Structure 1
Amino acid sequence: MKAWQRALVVVALLVLAGVPWYGSDVLLQFGINALLLAVLAQGWNIIGGYTGYASFGNSVFYGLGGYGVGIAMLQWHQPFWGGMAFGVAMALVFAFLLGLPVLRLRGHYFAIATLALAQVMAAIVSNVPLAGQNIGLVLPPLNNDRLFYGLSLALLVIATVVVYWLTRSRFGFGLIAIRENEEGAAVMGVNTTLYKVLAFALSGVFSALAGGIHAYWITFLDPESAFDISLNVRMIIMTVFGGAGTVFGPIVGALSLSAISEVLSSEVTSIAGLFFGLVIVAAVVLMPRGLADLARRVRQAGWRYFAENVRANWL
């Protein structure tokens, strides 16, 4: 990382860290939601961006993290941190038990298999009395948005450091090799099954932690919202928009799209979804590798970069 890039990261971190002190309550609540989405995008980036497996199952980890906190705090009278640990434990068990068979699938077969996981888990939780069944769980309120903002920002920093480590570690190189050519990676001695399961589990840990923080923040859980597949779609869109397989792309994508969505929802509520969809379509056509690639390629090719992408993806 170059000196100016490090300086830019430090400035951005200072700006984000100062939001609780200079921002309004509305900005603070928006920040919590945006930061948690960035964590989810960064977590998906590990399995989708670096390993090349488009998972639709990360919303399951998110729901397990939320229910881990809810069950531990309400049913077992444990502190919040105990609930977070329980949620992570459930996510890890899920990742290893189901990751082994599911990660043997590839391409759209893997995507379809993981797409069904969220619906299956929601149906299971709906019939578990300990989890409140269809009624859900109501957690004790804690009106401390500064605390939740700090937790969300700290979790995003940790997730980003882990992703940065992946770009410089043997494990990360193995994941990239699997993404580029899985058969070739296996020939070169990479234990592809182990690497994929570990990436799936690591991705799940961050999703579960984000789900636990969000559950305690909003103080309510139900199967439909906890295992919402549309949340997984948002993770993918934000990661791809910012730049999948990069360190800061998912963060830029999550924060920028969250801001666009918020502005459209407040200014043009009746057609906000349409405008948001047009933004995504335009981004995919004009910059298919995300904002991270855009900054580099525009310096090299100028406006021809957009023309080339339009010819390749549209014409």
Structure 2
Amino acid sequence: MRRMLRGSVAVMAAALLIAIPWLGSASLIQFGITTLLFAVLAQGWNIIGGYTGYASFGNSAFYGLGSYGTAIAMVQWRLPFGIGLAFGAALAVVFAVLLGVLVLRLRGHYFAIATLGLTQVTPAIISNLDVAGRNTGLVLPLLKGDALFYELSLGLLALATLTVFWISRSRFGYGLIAIREDEDAAAVMGINTTLYKVSAFALAGFFSSLAGGIHAYWITFIDPASAFDITLNVKMIIMAVFGGPGSILGPVVGAFVLSSISEVLATEISSLAALFFGLVIVAAVAFMPRGLADVARRYRKLGWRYFSQNIKANRL
């Protein structure tokens, strides 16, 4: 019965999301595009951060490479959007593989710092390339079709979620979880940890780059500062952690909930929106550090003790 209920809710939610371009207003569609792309970014981070246990701060670099790859192909080489999107994704995946072989030898905060430095180096390189428009950026062809971009974003989120679903039930996914729990023990068990980690990093880069390419064509303009914005990486991590890292739907739920809260706060009390949004995040980390997915699993057994245990664990 529980599975049937969950399946029914999932089908109804999917039907509602699909119908928004025909039932919702223009502002709702635009909000939907932004939220769906954030959910894709959160799912991408979930692969490397949630399942593999490597807290990457460099996924925004893949987002920027996808944006610029798509823009360069369309503006400089006059190629169609589909080819440009594929070029941006290929560029990000190759970059992720080459970089992953090096930085994934690091662990913990050393890995986080290395990927954080990546987000500073990449825009500096892009801003000195003539083909990328240097600091001026690139203007893409205008296409008035928010409904199209909404459906593209929704389709990409479905693909990312199905990929995470496959990971959660595959030998590859079990290997990533083993690496997250104890990498040395996983290596002793015969898991090729380097191959698994680089593959997860490349998958995260793939989905992040596709989100960047769709967003670039939607807003029709990119520059290094916006394409490689470090706050994107912070937001995708927060959304994944809030919803539940290492789960299938947790990052998606986290993206939708936090995007909605942020939108309401920005509309009602714009001057204090960032403050209230930050307080929501702090409270969530203190009361449910493993995200909403963990609350859904354990609250029925523990009740309010679930939150009190987390408070004690965090020594608040």
Deviations 1:177-234 (A, max 9, x none): 0000100100111000000000000110000000000000000100011011110000
Query: In 2, Cα distance between the equivalents of 1:137 and 1:293?
Result: 43
CA contact (8 A) 1:126 1:223 kept: yes
Deviations 1:77-110 (A, max 9, x none): 0000010111011111101111101000000000
2:203 corresponds to which residue? 202
Query: In 1, Cα distance between the equivalents of 2:83 and 2:106?
Result: 34
* Amino acid in structure 1 at the alignment position of 2:311: V
Residues 2-11 or 217-226, more deviating: 2-11
Displacement after TM superposition at 1:165 (Å): 0.2
Residues 130-139 or 3-12, more deviating: 3-12
Query: In 1, Cα distance between the equivalents of 2:178 and 2:4?
Result: 28
Query: In 2, Cα distance between the equivalents of 1:271 and 1:311?
Result: 30
1:264 corresponds to which residue? 265
Query: In 2, Cα distance between the equivalents of 1:246 and 1:120?
Result: 32
Gaps of 5+ in 1: none
CA contact (8 A) 1:171 1:195 kept: yes
CA contact (8 A) 1:285 1:314 kept: no
Deviations 1:12-35 (A, max 9, x none): 101111111110000000000000
Displacement after TM superposition at 1:272 (Å): 0.6
Query: In 2, Cα distance between the equivalents of 1:296 and 1:189?
Result: 32
Identity between Structure 1 and Structure 2 (%): 68
Query: In 2, Cα distance between the equivalents of 1:143 and 1:137?
Result: 18
1:275 corresponds to which residue? 276
Query: In 2, Cα distance between the equivalents of 1:13 and 1:248?
Result: 13
| Partner secondary structure for residue 206 of structure 1 | helix
Displacement after TM superposition at 1:3 (Å): 2.1
Query: In 2, Cα distance between the equivalents of 1:10 and 1:159?
Result: 17
1:241 corresponds to which residue? 242
Displacement after TM superposition at 1:314 (Å): 3.4
Query: In 2, Cα distance between the equivalents of 1:4 and 1:190?
Result: 37
1:113-192 matched pairs, under 5 angstroms: 113-192=114-193
Query: In 1, Cα distance between the equivalents of 2:12 and 2:63?
Result: 30
| Partner secondary structure for residue 106 of structure 2 | coil
Displacement after TM superposition at 1:2 (Å): 2.0
Query: In 1, Cα distance between the equivalents of 2:249 and 2:142?
Result: 33
Query: In 2, Cα distance between the equivalents of 1:115 and 1:23?
Result: 38
Query: In 2, Cα distance between the equivalents of 1:161 and 1:31?
Result: 20
CA contact (8 A) 1:69 1:212 kept: yes
Query: In 2, Cα distance between the equivalents of 1:141 and 1:234?
Result: 28
1:39 corresponds to which residue? 40
* Amino acid in structure 1 at the alignment position of 2:254: G
Query: In 1, Cα distance between the equivalents of 2:34 and 2:72?
Result: 22
| Partner secondary structure for residue 135 of structure 2 | coil
2:233 corresponds to which residue? 232
* Amino acid in structure 2 at the alignment position of 1:208: S
Q: CA RMSD in A?
A: 0.8
Alignment of 1:75 with 2:76, yes or no, is yes
Displacement after TM superposition at 1:9 (Å): 1.1
Query: In 1, Cα distance between the equivalents of 2:298 and 2:170?
Result: 26
Displacement after TM superposition at 1:297 (Å): 1.5
1:15 corresponds to which residue? 16
TM-score (norm 1): 0.99
Gaps of 5+ in 2: none
2:223 corresponds to which residue? 222
TM-score (norm 2): 0.99
Displacement after TM superposition at 1:142 (Å): 0.5
